[in-house]
Structure 1
Amino acid sequence: MELEELQQVWAELSQEVEQQKKLNHKIIMEMTQQKYQQKFDKISRYETAGSVVCILAAVFVLFNFEKLDSLFYQLCGIVAIAFLVLLPIAVLRALKKIRSIDLINTTYKETMIAYNKAKDRLLLLQRIGLFSSFIFFFITLALSGKIFNDKDIFQETGIWFPVTVVLVGLGLFSWWGYRKYLSITGSAKNLIEELEP
């Protein structure tokens, strides 16, 4: 082989290696994008199911609104409907936003900025949900007593022990759920950080 032929073969091999590198990089990016989206799939299904339950509960309160015969109960009903509709929609939108971050067609810096912004919003909504769920629990108790029995449930004797038990359970469940969100978002961040050039 002459020197010119060797140079031509070398150039072709270099070009093939470069194409193979690009193809491997593309495959890795697509796999990472898929893994990233899968991190949020399970939680999205749970949140969607929870949102359906919340919407049904809001419709139930709305259809029974005429039983709420005082300003206090009407305000509780309005707050309950708003809480049951607005918070789940906001969480689903935040999940959609964080899940749809494009890892392939954006730079690492742009991806991290978008991810951190979406993550902060999602976790803020989770904290709002966590703390407001305690207030919502008492609103639910008041509405349940009025709608089902036309009574002020807080005047009932013997209610405070079960209420305390439920509040402790609600607190533990809410904290566990928030920790899951922290775990999932942390795991997703680790996937993105693996792409750092």
Structure 2
Amino acid sequence: MELEEMQILWTRMSSQLEEQKELTNKLIMEMTQQKFRNRFNKLTIIETSGAVVCFIIAIVILLNIAKMNTWYLMACSIFTILLLIVLPILTLRAIKGMRTMDVTRRSYKETLQEFTRKRKNMLLIQRVGVMISVFMMWVSLPVFSMIMNNKDFFAQEHDPWLWVFIAVVTMGVILFARYGYRGYKKVTSSAENVLRDLKDH
């Protein structure tokens, strides 16, 4: 084989190897993108279901708004409705922001910066949600008392055991909210690990 033929063959092989490398890198990036999105699938399903429940409760309160015959019951109703609508929307938007992140278009550093910013936003919403969920439970008590019993919660005497029950439920809400927050941290840490695999590509 002459030198010129060897050079042509070598050039062709180098070109094929380069194409193969680019194809492999593209496949790795696409797989990473899919793995990254999959990390948020369970959260999306859970939060979408939760949002539907919240919207149904908000509609129930809205349909019974005429029963709220004092300014404080009306204020509690409006506040509860707003929270039941706004919090799920903010949460779903934060999750969507994560899921739709394109990890293939930017550099590793830019992708990690965007992820860090979005993760902070998502976890902040969850922290606020933990605090507000307890407050919302207390605010919604008089609303549902009026809807279900047609009685003003503030204008009646209550059995001491009711306060014990409310305290237990409050603790349950706090523990459940904290559990949910830890779940978010776990999911975002797992997604970050997926992104760190991009460092070598």
Cα deviation for residue 151 of structure 1 reads 2.3
Question: Deviating runs (4+, > 4 A) in structure 1?
Answer: none
Partner of 2:174: 171
- 1:156 corresponds to: 158
1:7 aligns with 2:7: yes
Which whole-Å CA distance do the structure 2 matches of 1:101 and 1:45 have between them?
A: 18
Partner letter of residue 180 of structure 1? G
TM-score with structure 1 length normalisation?
0.96
In the other structure, the counterpart of 2:53 is 53
Q: Measure how far apart 1:193 and its partner are.
A: 1.3
Question: Which of 124-133 and 164-173 deviates more?
Answer: 164-173
Unaligned runs of 5+ in 2: none
Count of matched residue positions in the alignment of Structure 1 and Structure 2: 197
Task: Give, in angstroms, the shift of residue 115 of structure 1.
Answer: 0.9
**Structure-2 residue corresponding to 1:135:** 135
Displacement of 1:7 = 1.4
For normalisation by structure 2, the TM-score amounts to 0.94
Bigger RCO of structures 1 and 2 (CA < 8 A, at least 6 apart): 2
Residue 124 (structure 1) aligned with residue 127 (structure 2): no
Give 1:1-197 correspondences, 5 Å limit: 1-153=1-153, 155-157=157-159, 158-197=161-200
Give deviations 1:82-120, integer Å, cap 9, x for gaps: 000011111111111111110111111221121111111
SS in 2 for 1:16: helix
Shift of residue 140, structure 1, vs aligned partner: 1.8
**Gap regions ≥5 residues in structure 1:** none
Work out the CA distance in 1 between the residues paired with 2:3 and 2:142.
90
- Supply the RMSD in Å over aligned alpha carbons: 1.1
